[in-house]
Chains A and B, each alone.
Chain A
Amino acid sequence: MRPQELPSKLRIVSLGNTPQNAEERAYSAIQSCFGLNCELLSPEPPPEFALDVLRGQCNSLEILDWLESRFPQPDQWIFGITDVDLAIPVLTFVFGEARLGGRSAVISTFRLHEEFYGRPADTLMLLSRIEKEAIHEVGHMMGLTHCLDRNCVMYPSNSLSQTDVKSIKLCPDCRSNLYS
């Protein structure tokens, strides 16, 4: 499902108390991987509207709806970064969510911290994971589906070890699918 056309701009917005430099790192990673024209927006509050109180997680699909209505310009894409834990109703959690071939995506830093797994903080690791997840979700916006190459950034990761194993790059197959 390919997007109709590439955006004039991809806008990046933080939702809540995201780690320092998260947006900047996502910005340069996305720009250098896809050559998209990016822009950083001023931060928005955490997405409390999407909170599922019972699960203590936010519904990522509702966040996408919200982003699309808050930033409605059809020729611009909107990319959110949040520190809340994300899930879609039937799944336990997701690192991020994007509309396949659509104009919105969001990632969560919640489970990308070493501290979440009871280990000492590691800022470099955290930022590199943010970059990978950001590129992965933008890949979906660009119409890419999951890739079976464990080292490709489009490999689906639902555990940190998978995120850490994969590279920050698109494999040659995915790269050629991108422009085909």
Chain B
Amino acid sequence: MKSVARIMVVDDEKIVRESLSVWLRKFGYEVVPVEGGQEALDILDREEWNILLVDLKMPRVDGIEVLRKAIEVKPGIPVIIFTAYATVETAVEAMKVGACDYLIKPIDPDMLTLKVKKILETQNLTNENVMLRDKIDAIYQFDEIIGNSKSVQEVLEIVGSVAASDASVLITGESGTGKELIAQAIHRNSDRRYKPFVAVSIGALPDTMVESELFGHEKGSFTGASHAHMGRFELADGGTLFLDEVGEMSSKVQVDLLRVLEERACYRLGGNRKIHTDVRVLAATNRVLKKSIEEGTFREDLYYRLNVIGIHLPPLRERGDDVLLLAEYFLRKFCMKMNKKKEGFSPEVIKLFLRYKWPGNIRELENAIERAVVVGKESLVQLSDMPFGGGQKVLEEKTAISLREVEKKHILKVLNETGWNVTRSAHLLEIDRATLYNKIKNYGVSKPRDQR
């Protein structure tokens, strides 16, 4: 007989505890529905439990109290709190008291399954099947990719299953959503991981340079080509080539790239030696390439070459509570780096994080927290440590300002959000980079000291 995981489900609402029990039993777990906090505490130390699933709001003895007593009686027992959306903050509070996780009602069944499974796996209450799968999963390392949301977990699942193949992958998503991070994860989990990962950002290069960057050039092939130069395709031989911002390629480059991908070989500019390349291509863009195809600015055949497998990264604002996980992660990271001590975030900051739209996505969050660690004085990160808290107010204060002034402030805001990445800012502003450079110069906008 293999041992069966035992789960206690505590909720005063019959329909809720029954339906959760029904659901969990289909996984072969033994589930005991319990109708109140007191009843839960009564049977708690009479039997062995692997997980307690406890509703936060119950009459008399509520979820927090069950949680407190449970970890007192059985230290280390995993308690998952679930709650309606209106009480998220209390759920965060519950985490501080010692809940190992929380779920929002109505519960996403996938999240529930995932969380329960993860806990049981750490408890070794696993049958051979699980161990086998563990072994397979073990080569996938996604430690540095933070996210519990379903969309992120799904992305990781795809990454895990495509890493080993040589298929081209097109990674799409807004600026700062982690496209490059995912590309690296694919590389590091593939058989090519001991060979180079070469990234080339096509959007950041002037058009004339792209070809020489990608394919290399021979000495004297154009004015200024005083040495022969290896292209990125050659550099990446045996490994992975990451083509960033592919949406920005001119039609000429698109044709040449397509030919190289089809022939698996290239020629340096001004050269006639055929260079064979064994390269896996990953590409990324924050454009909607389907639209570019319709508009005639992107070749459909190239699109299908690059998009054998598509991975879409949702914007941060659609990842729910991941923003809090990421915030904690960055806080730890920067505290360590700068040798500072911070306990966490003030409730106002948490509220802001959940409400804010994060146009610059994870990069914006990362920058905001880095800044907060630098400027913050208290042990909890305060609203006043946040770049946008103050920034937005400034715009509201004085309404009668000139258009010029508004534009200047807006440009500054976008630049700050993107961590002063001009290419990305230009994208967001929907102007080209040269125009943005000119405006920066004209307006005399400059990077705040603490971000340099």
Contact = CB atoms under 8 A, between A and B. Distances in A.
Interface of A: 1, 55, 61, 87-94, 100, 140, 145-149, 156, 158-159, 161, 165, 173
Interface hub of B106, B109, B133, B158 (most chain A Cβ within 10 A): B109
A61 B18 CA distance: 10
Q: Nearest 8 pairs between A and B by C-beta?
A: A145-B28, A158-B110, A88-B19, A148-B129, A90-B16, A91-B109, A92-B106, A146-B27
Contacts of A92: 106-109
Contacts of A173: 129
Interface hub of B25, B106, B158 (most chain A Cβ within 10 A): B106
Nearest to B117: A148
Contacts, number: 65
Interface of A: prevailing SS? loop
Contacts of B150: 159
Contact of B154 (A61, A93, A145, A159): A159
A94 B15 contact: no
Interface in B90-133: 105-110, 112-113, 129-130, 133
B27 A156 contact: yes
Interface of B: prevailing SS? helix
B23 interface: yes
25 contacts: A61-B18, A61-B19, A61-B22, A88-B19, A89-B15, A90-B16, A90-B82, A91-B19, A91-B23, A91-B106, A91-B109, A92-B106, A92-B107, A93-B109, A100-B26, A145-B25, A146-B26, A147-B129, A148-B133, A149-B129, A158-B108, A158-B109, A158-B110, A158-B113, A161-B158
A106 to B, nearest CB: 13
B27 A145 contact: yes
Given A1-B25, A91-B107, A148-B133, 15 more contacts: A61-B18, A89-B15, A90-B82, A90-B106, A90-B107, A91-B106, A94-B109, A100-B22, A140-B26, A145-B25, A145-B26, A148-B130, A156-B113, A161-B157, A173-B129
Nearest to B150: A159
Interface of B: 15-16, 18-20, 22-23, 25-28, 82, 105-110, 112-113, 129-130, 133, 150, 154, 157-158, 161
B159 to A, nearest CB: 13
A156 B129 contact: no
A87 B15 CA distance: 12
A149 B136 CA distance: 12
Nearest to A60: B19
Contacts of B25: 1, 100, 145
Contacts of A100: 22, 25-26
Contacts of A140: 26
A92 B23 CA distance: 12
A146 B133 CA distance: 15
A55 B18 CA distance: 19
A161 B154 contact: yes
Nearest to A101: B25
A88 B113 contact: no
A9 B15 CA distance: 31
Interface hub of B28, B133, B154, B161 (most chain A Cβ within 10 A): B28
Contacts of A55: 106
Contacts of B26: 100, 140, 145-146, 156
A139 B186 CA distance: 35
Interface hub of B20, B23, B26, B154 (most chain A Cβ within 10 A): B26
Contacts of A148: 129-130, 133
B27 A89 contact: no
A90 B83 CA distance: 10
B22 A88 contact: yes
Contacts of B27: 145-146, 156
A173 B28 CA distance: 14
B145 to A, nearest CB: 18
A50 B416 CA distance: 51
Contacts of A147: 129
